[in-house]
């Protein structure tokens, strides 16, 4: 085996390993979202059964957003892991295709590896097929529930005119914590080039 053949074999092995990581991250995303939404449904079902108890009601409404935010961060970590692997595979595909089909060839063959390029627009429709909207909707569902729950906790606390200090600290402290987590999440997305729209070149 020549050095070039050994290098190509090693590169293809690396490609397979990174592809496995990409698939594992997709599975983890689905698992995180499934268990997160199931837990959220259980939490809010419990809320309805204890609605008459103001302390429990406000505690659940205040703490649920923090739980939902943490679930979202775990899910976002897997999305980032997937985006990182996909981008690496895209670059690796280009390198492998150059090695297998040098530019000096008078009749270049079809690309040996082309999944990531195909998804990004090199397909019969000439369209980017990355599922951006589905990730935005998933974020909106989790964070939307968190914001609504937090806002409802503050509104109900003010409406009930309760004066318990610990409850006041819990409601407003949890609301501030939720807002901070969402802000940090937005900042994370903004600063990560893999998660920004249009970062495909």
- Give the residue ranges of the chain where pLDDT is below 50: 104, 198-201
Alpha-carbon distance of 122 to 128, in angstroms, equals 8
Angle subtended at Cα 192 by Cα 79 and Cα 84, rounded to the nearest 5 degrees: 45
Helix ranges (DSSP H) in 101-193: 115-119, 132-160, 165-191
Strands (DSSP E) along 9-105, which ranges? none
pLDDT in tens, 134-166: 899 999 999 999 999 999 999 999 888 666 788
Q: What is the pLDDT of residue 197?
A: 57
pLDDT at 99: 75
Encoded tokens for 121:
């627009």
CA distances to 32, 109, 110, 127, 175 from 132, in Å:
18, 31, 28, 13, 29
Contact (CB, 8 A) for 135 and 197: no
Q: What is the pLDDT of residues 167-191, one digit of tens each?
A: 899 999 999 999 999 999 999 999 9
What per-residue confidence (pLDDT) applies to 114?
Answer: 84
DSSP letter at 110?
Answer: P
User: How large a percentage of the chain has pLDDT more than 90?
Assistant: 56
Residue 48's closest CA among 32, 64, 70, 66? 64
């Amino acid at each position: 085996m020549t050095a070039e053949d050994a290098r190509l074999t090693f590169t293809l092995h690396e490609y397979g390993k990174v592809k496995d990581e990409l698939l594992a991250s997709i599975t983890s995303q689905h698992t995180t979202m499934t268990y997160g939404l199931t837990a959220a449904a259980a939490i809010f079902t419990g809320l309805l059964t204890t609605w008459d108890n103001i302390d429990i009601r406000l505690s659940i409404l205040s703490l649920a957003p923090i739980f939902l935010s943490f679930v979202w961060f775990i899910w976002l970590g897997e999305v980032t892991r997937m985006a990182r692997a996909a981008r690496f595979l895209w670059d690796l595909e280009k390198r492998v295709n150059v090695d297998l089909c040098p530019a000096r060839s008078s009749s270049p063959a079809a690309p040996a590896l082309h999944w990531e390029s195909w998804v990004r627009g090199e397909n019969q429709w000439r369209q980017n097929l990355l599922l951006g909207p589905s990730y935005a909707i998933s974020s909106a569902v989790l964070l939307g529930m968190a914001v609504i729950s937090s806002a409802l906790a503050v509104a109900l606390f003010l409406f009930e005119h309760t004066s318990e200090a610990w409850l006041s600290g819990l409601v407003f402290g949890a609301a501030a914590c939720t807002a901070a987590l969402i802000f940090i999440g937005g900042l994370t997305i903004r600063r990560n080039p893999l998660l920004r729209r249009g970062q495909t070149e």
